[in-house]
Structure 1
Amino acid sequence: MSDLIIERQTSPARLEIRPLTPVIGAEIRGVDLRKPLDAATAQAIEQTLVQWKVIFFRDQDLSNEQLLAFGRSFGPLTPAHPVALGLPEHPEIWEREAGEYRQNHRQDLTIPTARPPRDYKGWHIDITFVANPNRYSILRGVRIPPYGGDTLWSNLESAYDGLSPTIKALCDGLKAVHRTSSYDSGEPRPGRKAAGPFAALHPLVRVHPRTGRKSLFVNPGTTSHIVGLRERESQALLDLLADEVTRPEYAVRFHWTPNAIAVWDNQATAHAGPIDYAHFDLPRVVRRITVAGELPEGPDGFRSRPLEGELFGVIG
C-alpha cells in the first residue's frame, strides 16, 4: 500500500482515502453513494471528513433522492437556504448556475454589502448570519465545464494554529456580528424568499464539537464587526484574520468533473468558488444540500445567539 493511500475497512465497503495536501482535502474511492450506506461506512466517511475537513468523490451519478439519502446519513437536513428557494419538488436542494454570479455581483467581483471588509474574492463560510449555521455542506456537480469553475477550501483550524500566542489569547475572548448582505435581504424575487435581515452574534474562535480543536470563525464579507473594539481596531483585526483564513498553504483546490461530490465540514472550513466565473461563459450547474448544525461555542463557553431573524430550520 502506498504511503499516500489510506484504507479503511468497513462492512462491506473498503474505502481508499487519498489525501490531497498535508493539511486539508482527501479523495475517497471504493464506495457507491447511490446505494444506502451502512452505519460503519457512514461513520468511516464522517471520520475522514472531520480529519481532512473536505472530502471528494468522483463519478457518483446520484438522483436527487439518492443525494438526500446520502446527506441524511450524517444527520437531519435543512431547507435549501434561509433566503433562497430550493427545487420545487425537493426544498432541501439549492441549485446554482454560474451565470447567477455575474448577475448578482459587482464588476469588481465583490458581494454587495452595506459596509464590507476588504474584498476577499468570494471566500466565505456557509450561512453564518444565522446563529446555528449548518454542520456539513454537500455539493454535487450536475453540469460541469471541461475547464474552469474550480473551488477552494481553507482549513480554519490551521489558520488559528498559525497565529501567535498573543493574538490567539486576544481572539479567544472576542465575539463578532455576522450579517446578511444587501443581496440576501429585502423583497422576494425569482428564486428568493421574502427574508431578512439576519444577524447573529458568534464567538471569534469556535471549538469543534467533535474534536475540541479551535478554529477562526471569521467569514470574510459577512462578519461586520468585532464587539467591544473601536471601528478601526475591529476592521484591522478582521483584515488580519481574513488574510490568515485565505492563505494558500492552508487551502486545497478542487477541479470539478461531472458527477463529482464535495462534502465539507462547515464548522472548520471556509471556501470560495467558482473562483473564475467572471472569466468564462461555459455552463456550470451544481446542487447543494446542508446538514443541520448547532450553536457554535467559543473557548469561554459562550454560545452563539440570534440578533435578527430566526434560527436555521430542519426538514428531516
Structure 2
Amino acid sequence: MNRFIIQGMKMIHSNYKSSPLPIGIEVFGVDLKRQLDQVTVERIKEDVTKHRLVVFRNQGVVDGHRQVEISKWFGEIDNVSYAKHPMSPNIDIFRVSNDPVQGCTGVGITGWHIDGTFRSEPYSHSIYHMVSVAKSGGDTMFIPLTQVVESFSPEQREFLNHVWMLSDRCSHLCHPLIYPHPLTGRPTMCFHQGMTSGFVRDYDPTSGKLDLLNEEENKSVISAIQSAIESVTVYSHKWLETGDFILSDNLAVGHRAGSIPSSVETAGLRILHRVTVAGKTSPCKNTLQKQDCCY
C-alpha cells in the first residue's frame, strides 16, 4: 500500500526524499523499475523543472522499455537515425560505449553543449542510465545555463543578445544564443561548442538572410562563452554504481563527457543509455508560459 504525507497542499509519497547537489538534487526512496503512482510521477516532473537535474542512484539495471516509458513522462521521444546501434535494447535508446562493438563511441567529447541544436525544436529533456560503469574516468559534467548567461558582463550580454548560433549540420538552422527558457522564463542558452559553423547577427527567420559575424567577432563570442563557463559551478557526476539514472532539463543545463581511456582493458567497459524527448518549442526571444524554479 502506498503511504503519503501532506506537504503544503500536495500529497507526496512518504518515501520520497531529496538532498541538494551542486546542480540539481538527488532523490531517494524511489524504485524506478516499478510502476509509480501519478502523484510521485508529477513530483519528479516538477523537480526536474525546478532543479534542472534529478539524480537517482542504485537503481540496478532499468530495462530499455522502462527507460523509454519514464522518458515519455516528459513528452514524445525523438530518436535520431544516426544514433542507432545494433546492441541497443530499444529503437529509442542511444547506446554509448567505449567499445564500438557495444555502443557508439566518441560521443559528447567535442565541448559543452545542449542536445538537439540541429533540430528546429531542440530536445526538451535527456534521460541517462548507466548500464555498465567504467573502472576509471567517464564522468558526465553539467553546467547551469542561467548562471552562465548571468556571468556575462553587461557589455557582453548586450552584444550576445543579438547573436544567433548557426548549426553545422545539413539543416544549417539558426537559433538565438540567449533566450528565455520556455517553462521558467529564466535566461538560458542554445549552443554546441562542437557543432556550430559560425554566428549570425540579428537573424530574421522570416527573410532567412544571414548576417554572419566576422572572424574577430566569432572569436569574441567563443571566448565570452568559455570564460563564463569557467566562472560557474560544474557538477561532475561520477557514475559510481551500475544503475545511476539522471533526468535532465536539456534546455537548462549544458553538459559534456569527461575523458575515458578507449581501452576496455584499461578502463573497463562503459555503457550508457540515453533517451531524448522531442522539443515542443523553437528557441525564441519571447515566452509566455512560466513555472516555478529554484535557480
Asked if residue 64 in structure 1 is aligned to residue 89 in structure 2, the reply is no
| C-alpha distance in structure 1 between counterparts of 2:215 and 2:96, whole Å | 35
| Equivalent in the alignment of 1:98 | 98
Match of 1:20 in 2: 21
| SS of corresponding position for 2:232 | helix
Question: Counterpart of 2:173 in 1: which secondary structure?
Answer: strand
**Which portions of structure 1, spanning 4 or more consecutive aligned residues, are displaced by more than 4 angstroms?**
7-11, 86-89
Query: Which among 250, 257, 260 is matched to residue 233 of structure 2?
Result: 250
**TM-score, length-scaled by structure 1:** 0.74
Aligned equivalent of 1:132: 121
1:231 and 2:215 aligned = yes
Report how far residue 278 of structure 1 moved: 5.2
Compare 64-73 and 133-142 and name the one that shifted more. 64-73
Secondary structure of the 1:250 match is: coil
CA distance in 1, matches of 2:267, 2:171: 32
Could you say if the C-alpha distance between residues 37 and 243 of structure 1 is closer, same or farther in structure 2, counting changes exceeding 3 Å? farther
Structure-to-structure mapping, 1:45-194, within 5 angstroms: 45-61=44-60, 62-79=62-79, 81-85=80-84, 90-100=90-100, 122-180=111-169
Question: Matched residues in 2 for 1:70 and 1:104: separation?
Answer: 25
Given that residues 126 and 133 in structure 1 are in contact (C-alpha distance below 8 angstroms), is that contact kept between their aligned partners in structure 2? Answer: yes
**Structure 1 residues 168 and 225, CA gap change in structure 2 (3 angstroms):** same
Distance 1:248 1:164, change over 3 A: closer
Kept in 1: contact 2:190–2:283 (CA 8 A)? no
- Work out the CA distance in 2 between the residues paired with 1:104 and 1:43: 34
8 Å CA contact 2:25–2:51 kept in 1: the answer is yes
- What code does the residue aligned with 1:26 have? I
CA 151–89 in structure 1, closer or farther in 2 if over 3 Å, else same:
closer
The aligned length equals 263
Measured in 1, the distance between the counterparts of 2:36 and 2:260 equals 35
CA distance in 2, matches of 1:295, 1:231: 31
TM-score normalised by L of structure 2: 0.79
Residue 95 of structure 2 aligns to a residue whose secondary structure is strand
User: Secondary structure at the residue paired with 2:65?
Assistant: helix
Distance in 2 between the 1:104 and 1:255 partners? 19
* Unmatched runs of 5 consecutive residues or more in structure 2: 1-6, 201-210, 288-295
Q: Residue 296 of structure 1: CA displacement?
A: 3.0
Alignment of 1:21-36 (within 5 A): 21=22, 24-36=23-35
Supply the distance in 1 between the matched residues of 2:275 and 2:168 (Cα, whole angstroms): 22
Deviation per CA, 1:175-198: give whole Å up to 9, x if none. 120123xxxxxxxxxxxxxxxx34
**Structure 1: stretches of 5+ with no match in the other structure:** 1-6, 112-120, 181-196, 302-316
> Which letter does structure 2 place at the counterpart of 1:155?
P
Identity, % of aligned positions: 25
Amino acid at match of 1:93: I
For the residue of structure 2 that corresponds to 1:83, the secondary structure is helix
Partner AA of 2:281 in structure 1: L
